[in-house]
Structures are given as structure tokens and as C-alpha cells.
Amino acid sequence: MKKDQIFLLKDRGVLLITGPDSKDFLQNLVSNDVNKVTDTQSCFSSLLTPQGKYLFDFMIVKHKDGYFLDCELNQINGLINRLGVYKLNSKIEITNLSHKFQVTVISNEKFLSINNSKNHEGATITYREDPFFIDPRNKKLGARGIVNLEKIYLSIKKLELKPEDSKNYYADLTIVDMNKEVLIKDEWIESKCGWTPFNNYKVKGFPVATIVNGEIVMENSKIISPAKGKPLNF
């Protein structure tokens, strides 16, 4: 990632959890320790079922009135509904601010040039009242920002940044279960030919998910995203 790049992550949404019980509410629900989240430290966390099954993941960032959640935009309504189930008598408010804030990514080099920032996962600063923080999962993923849309282009100008398509930020990868054994069948084939030379071939080690441009397109042998491929023109 170049120092002058900024990626606008259009697939990310922003929730704001406010109220006197916001800290205890999150602390009792999420997988990480919310006590560690301060004005100078953010964290990565997830929401699980009571049985420990994964539901959602997000970044937790301190806000003056509570906490920002940087989460997947296409799952934000589900996350709001799930949090609402646990709200009960807690004195909190859950507000979707995705129409007012944009999640961004800048390079660590640029982040460290702002306000003598610290260089470790989750390190957080405030720039023009908006939080910027090194990705809590891995420093190599850059530094994220939750930026007010009314100020975003002035901030970009002041920091001498060039907006980039988020497609150039996300990775394409395939997750393989090395212990999974399957018998390959022609009927699985999604290409036009409809067959494979490996029909009835038993293999050990099989892809369980494929992620393209940060989006899950195949999971558990099912294509779950519309095809976006285009033919090559020579």
C-alpha cells in the first residue's frame, strides 16, 4: 500500500452504540474485552451464539458517547436485530450511521505521520474528530478510519491522499479443508461444459470457501454470489 493511497470501503457499515450501559452491554456479548477499548486503542471482536457459533465480526472503536462498530454493510440489519434481542432493559441506543460515515483504509506510513501515532495493532488517534486506527488483526492490513462524510474530501485533501477503488485493497483467496474427503461429480460443475475429467475421483483436501474482492462467492460447495466474470478480448 502506497503512502498517498486511501481506500473507501463501500461494503462496510457503521453502527453507534450509545448510552450509560453501552460498555457493559457489549462486554457481556462480544468475544473480546471491551475494557481494553479506549481513545487510543481499538479492537477486533465478534458476536457468537450461546453455543459459540459465529454470527458477525466487527471492529470496536471508542466514541465520545459510546462505541463505533465497523461492520459488513450487507449484514448490518441482521447485526442490529441480533443486538436488539439482547438489549432488554439496558440503557443503550443502537444507531445505523452508515449514511453519515465512511470506513476507509490508509497506509501505516501515512497513519504514523499523523500526530506521532503509535505503531501497534489497534493503536488509535483522532484526526479532525474522526478515529483512525491500525487494523487490530494485523498491521499489514493498514490503518482504518471512520470518517464523517461531510468532512471526508477535505480530510483527503489535507492528508494529500488519492482515493482508490476498494477492489485494489481486498484479497482473493480460497480456504481449503485439508482433511475433507469428497467424491467429485459432474453435476457439481458450474461451467458450460457440465463435466470434469475428475468425475468419480475421490480426493482429500477440498475448498470450502472462496473470497473474491473481500466477498464470499462460494461456501460449502455452493455459489452464493452472482457471476461477475467477463470474457477476455484479444
What was the pLDDT predicted at 46? 97
Give the distance, in angstroms, between the CA of residue 156 and the centroid of all CA atoms in the same chain.
21
What's the mean per-residue pLDDT of the chain? 92
User: Cα separation of 205 and 201, whole Å?
Assistant: 13
Query: What percentage of the chain exceeds 70 in pLDDT?
Result: 96
pLDDT 10s digits, 184-229: 999 888 788 889 999 999 999 989 888 876 678 888 888 887 766 6
Residue 41 DSSP label: B
pLDDT 10s digits, 39-74: 999 999 999 999 999 999 999 999 999 999 999 999
Residue 118 DSSP label: -
**46: nearest Cα among 138, 136, 139, 175:** 136
Instruction: Give the residue-averaged pLDDT of 86-108.
Output: 96
- The burial class, CB within 10 Å (0-12 / 13-18 / 19+), for 167 is exposed
What was the pLDDT predicted at 220? 83
Instruction: Give the residue-averaged pLDDT of 10-23.
Output: 96
Q: How many Cβ atoms are within 10 Å of 127's Cβ, its own excluded?
A: 17
Q: How many Cβ atoms are within 10 Å of 189's Cβ, its own excluded?
A: 14
Query: What values do phi and psi take at 60, rounded to 5?
Result: -115, 125
Task: Dump strand ranges (E) for 165-201.
Answer: 173-183
Residues β-bridged to residue 105: 7, 144
Can you list the domains of the chain with their CATH numbers? 5-168 (3.30.1360.120), 173-223 (2.30.40.10)
Residue 234 has pLDDT above 90, yes or no: no
Residue 150 DSSP label: T
Instruction: Give the residue-averaged pLDDT of 175-190.
Output: 90
What was the pLDDT predicted at 193? 87
What was the pLDDT predicted at 117? 84
Place 5 in a pLDDT band, splitting at 50, 70 and 90: very high
User: Cα separation of 210 and 223, whole Å?
Assistant: 9
pLDDT 10s digits, 21-44: 999 999 999 999 999 999 999 999
Please tell me which residue, 126 or 172, carries the higher pLDDT value. 126
Q: How many Cβ atoms are within 10 Å of 186's Cβ, its own excluded?
A: 13
